[in-house]
Amino acid sequence: MDVPTPDLVCPDTTWAMGRVSSYGWGVWESRLHALFAVQCRYQLEDESAHLDEMPLMMSEEGFENEESDYHTLPRARIMQRKRGLEWFVCDGWKFLCTSCCGWLINICRRKKELKARTVWLGCPEKCEEKHPRNSIKNQKYNVFTFIPGVLYEQFKFFLNLYFLVISCSQFVPALKIGYLYTYWAPLGFVLAVTMTREAIDEFRRFQRDKEVNSQLYSKLTVRGKVQVKSSDIQVGDLIIVEKNQRIPSDMVFLRTSEKAGSCFIRTDQLDGETDWKLKVAVSCTQRLPALGDLFSISAYVYAQKPQMDIHSFEGTFTREDSDPPIHESLSIENTLWASTIVASGTVIGVVIYTGKETRSVMNTSNPKNKVGLLDLELNRLTKALFLALVALSIVMVTLQGFVGPWYRNLFRFLLLFSYIIPISLRVNLDMGKAVYGWMMMKDENIPGTVVRTSTIPEELGRLVYLLTDKTGTLTQNEMIFKRLHLGTVSYGADTMDEIQSHVRDSYSQMQSQAGGNNTGSTPLRKAQSSAPKVRKSVSSRIHEAVKAIVLCHNVTPVYESRAGVTEETEFAEADQDFSDENRTYQASSPDEVALVQWTESVGLTLVSRDLTSMQLKTPSGQVLSFCILQLFPFTSESKRMGVIVRDESTAEITFYMKGADVAMSPIVQYNDWLEEECGNMAREGLRTLVVAKKALTEEQYQDFESRYTQAKLSMHDRSLKVAAVVESLEREMELLCLTGVEDQLQADVRPTLEMLRNAGIKIWMLTGDKLETATCIAKSSHLVSRTQDIHIFRQVTSRGEAHLELNAFRRKHDCALVISGDSLEVCLKYYEHEFVELACQCPAVVCCRCSPTQKARIVTLLQQHTGRRTCAIGDGGNDVSMIQAADCGIGIEGKEGKQASLAADFSITQFRHIGRLLMVHGRNSYKRSAALGQFVMHRGLIISTMQVCHHIHHVPSVLLSAGPGREARDGDALPGAVQGPHQVRQGSADCSTLRCCLMIGAAGDWMCQRSLSTPVSVSGHQVPSPSAQAPAM
């Protein structure tokens, strides 16, 4: 009989299959099953090891092989095996030195292991371990390390080290060939300028840190409120933070002055999102009658160990003095992270993390000293010229026949030919870069530009990858309602007045009917719900759509306090004052704010909301009250949100839901227009939301509530059970409308991105926003052209899923990539090289839900795997790590503050200015610096060539002096002079030689200027030639 061969059987067991017919299946059955079991167990245990040895296939031929995708080793691992003498000479010694230094530093500064902690309320002295000070330090040096650190950063390059050795050699009398100031003055000038610039930057950073660390906060103690500095806050302190004040450390939210027990915070400096986030206080402490009762209870917070993830937190709140003890679970909604701003009310929190253990500091990388690629190339060229200098000196000594003290003559030849690497090169380049920076700041076409790092202006002209933030950089983060589609009719910006008239007529008709029949309204509605469906009028459909939009959201109206109103009476007055003058809307998403503002413009206004109720105002001024029974917030997995409300006037229960079209299409009833209209709106760059509803009876809701409550109390698979219960309601929902909202782009974003692409620059968008939002902005800004396909990298959590998804992406060509931060982390963990290689082949890449550390890591990976120059541009505090990690960082001064612009190398006011900054100033700076460097080196080569020619023809060189005022002694073997009767005195100058050298230098200068005046085209566009010439030497 034929025995099927499972996939898990190994080749070594095939002999057993062949002999089954001889021995019989009964004999081998037990052995074969045991063998299969052992094989399966070992294969499952070694899956990770097999995947390590089975990398992604990276060639098209491999896809045609049906046996396996694991037949070729990745290029990265093959390259690692090719390390030999070449690797050691080029980079190996750097790697070894860095490893040794890092090992010594780790020994001297052992990092303390981060652990979970128990924090008692208002009792810092009960902390079991010592925690870091709550001080912010952005300085690179201190008083003792400033001079050694700056000198190390300068002399770690061979060019500067060579100049230092040449200058120090003049202290030796036997090697002295000129005056000391001719060598030390240029070197001292370069060091003085560098140290002055670094000192000014350090002092500015010190002032900014001192200002932040000296901010005063109210600390709650047993004796009352005490003012403390931000740097003196400790773990366990109870800190009071007022409205519009920065949160000084990571805290757990205990109490608020808001009666709803919640508040809004702004997180733009933490995650880059300008939307306000809703935070909820711990219910146990919020219910306390007075603020001082926090010290009358015995309570503590158990917090997980400090980590970098700003979107998650796990902890518990325990009150021991109650019977029984109260335990509350803490999540991200109960936390207040440092560097965020309180947007509403006054909050009280207990400090759990301070200093370098806070989320904001852990997601900030240390600044590095940036060196331009031109400087690195000149440094490598200097090494090559030095080897040529040594070889030439050896040739000269060999021609002399190693007569006399030849080793001294060898070193003198090295000094003599040192013009091959002229010390004036560094001086001229630094002066030229300073002029280039001054020209950028004085350009009237890009006003407000600030050059904060004057050592890398030419980097702007050598960029290959541009990594940009979305919110505030490409977009203004201002949403405008553009389109409402009801299936048979569509309303745009120019027909909104029709919707307003329909809403007004609908509510006036309902009010008149309610006045004529107040008692029979509820039975009438129930009868209408049970009657057969009839086609609704346009007016009723618009009314239901607007009502659903104004009810299904998480928006909260906020009323600003008037002048002279005390904090105690502010809330009471806000309850009755529903005027439009002092009302603003706040939510975690600007889309929902735009929708609620639009409903207000058409007549239906949200005037009040708390955790359990909502109030609307009709065009006639009538206030409608709704009770919020359940709220299902938006998640990246579900891509939708919902709410169950009860109309207090009619007792009707309605389930409203809105979300992305991909999530809502299987939920709503059959229709033939939703998919087509969603595609049309997406092509226009609009962000679409599908709105639906479902009427519930009292019995249906009670049944759902019991099952939902039971699922939330489950200890195992809670999220899955809750999702299953909610999905039981999401069936055959009535489709109401489709909305289109536009996110306003910054001025001239589309032509700027197009110009950068035409110049050969690849653009990546890294954002902390949602996937749908990032994809929509990529389309509307033309980061992804309309003809290009978009591959959305699905959510992966394991190595196997990442492997399959990468193979699927490999089969696609010329398509943009959209990937989330979680999937990116998995891919980089297991397939770093393969993912970067595939992503670099894409015309555009969009990374959403990225943390600040992930942004910086992406920049570093591009630098390591491609060797190309990168530029990062952003406007928020969450972009600082990315800006500092890039070869060139550009900050934009915008709504999110100046933190990014202060940390950047270049600061601009609008994104469109980056076009002229790169295409004109960057190109001109690179061209001029390159021409200047070539001119100085060619001039040195010409002078040295003349000296060699004169030596060969027995003519003493101009610079062959043993020292000022010193004559040659008898018997000295002089380089450049012949022993014997033709011996001459050192220091004699040949005027014709000097004149010839000056003429050659002038000719080279003229040729350099001619080359600078030649216009160069960038991707077919003529760029005007620079008006300024290279600085004179």
Residue with tokens 């004057």: 454
Q: What is the DSSP letter of 312?
A: -
Which helix H or strand E contains 551, and what residues bound it? helix 538-551
**Nearest C-alpha neighbor of 630 from the set 615, 608, 619, 614:** 614
Beta-carbon contacts of 964 under 8 Å, excluding residues fewer than 6 positions away, are 178, 179
Dig out the tokens for 422 from the structure. 């002229």
Burial level of 899, CB count in 10 A (0-12/13-18/19+)?
buried
CB 637, CB 643: distance < 8 Å:
no
The candidate with the shortest Cα–Cα distance to 1021, out of 931, 881, 915, is 915
Residue with tokens 């035409």: 758
Contacts of 996 (CB under 8 A, 6+ apart): 946
* Two tokens, residue 85: 């003498």
The SS3 assignment for 872 reads strand
Q: Which residue matches tokens 């049309």?
A: 680
Task: End-to-end CA distance of the chain: give it in Å, rounded.
Answer: 93
| CA-angle at 344, arms to 260 and 245, nearest 5° | 140
Bond before 324 cis per omega within 30 degrees: yes
Specify whether the CB–CB gap between 786 and 679 falls below 8 A.
Answer: no
Tell which residue, 287, 243, 267, 258, has the closest CA to residue 335.
267
- 737 — phi, psi (to 5°)? -165, 170
Distance CA 930, CA 970 (A): 47
Residues paired with 369 in a beta bridge: none
CA gyration radius, the chain: 37
| Nearest CA among 547, 825, 591, 842 for reference residue 695 | 547
Beta-sheet strands, E only, within 413-462: 450-451
Contact 868, 464 (CB under 8 A): yes
Query: Residue 973 and residue 409: Cα distance in Å, rounded?
Result: 8
Asked about 12 being catalytic, the answer comes back as no
* Strand, coil or helix: 562: coil
**Rounded to whole angstroms, how far apart are CA atoms 269 and 875?**
9
Mapped onto helix, strand or coil, the DSSP state of residue 644 is strand
- Strand, coil or helix: what is 655? strand
Q: What backbone torsions phi and psi does residue 479 show, to the nearest 5 degrees?
A: -90, 140
How many C-beta atoms surround the C-beta of residue 581 within 10 A? 8
Q: Indicate the residue type of 870.
A: T
Instruction: Catalogue the E-assigned strands of 489-555.
Output: 490-491
CA 600 centroid distance within chain: 36
Q: Alpha-carbon distance 1030 to 644, whole Å? A: 71
Check 275, 469, 591, 879 and give the catalytic one. 469
| Spatial distance between the Cα atoms of 125 and 819, rounded to a whole number of angstroms | 46
Distance in angstroms (rounded) separating the CA atoms of residues 587 and 473? 21
Q: Which residue has the tokens 């933190």?
A: 899
Token pair in block for residue 958: 């101009």
DSSP one-letter code for 493: G
**Cα angle: 949, vertex 954, 957; to 5 degrees:** 65
CB atoms closer than 10 angstroms to residue 716: 6
The set of catalytic residues is 469
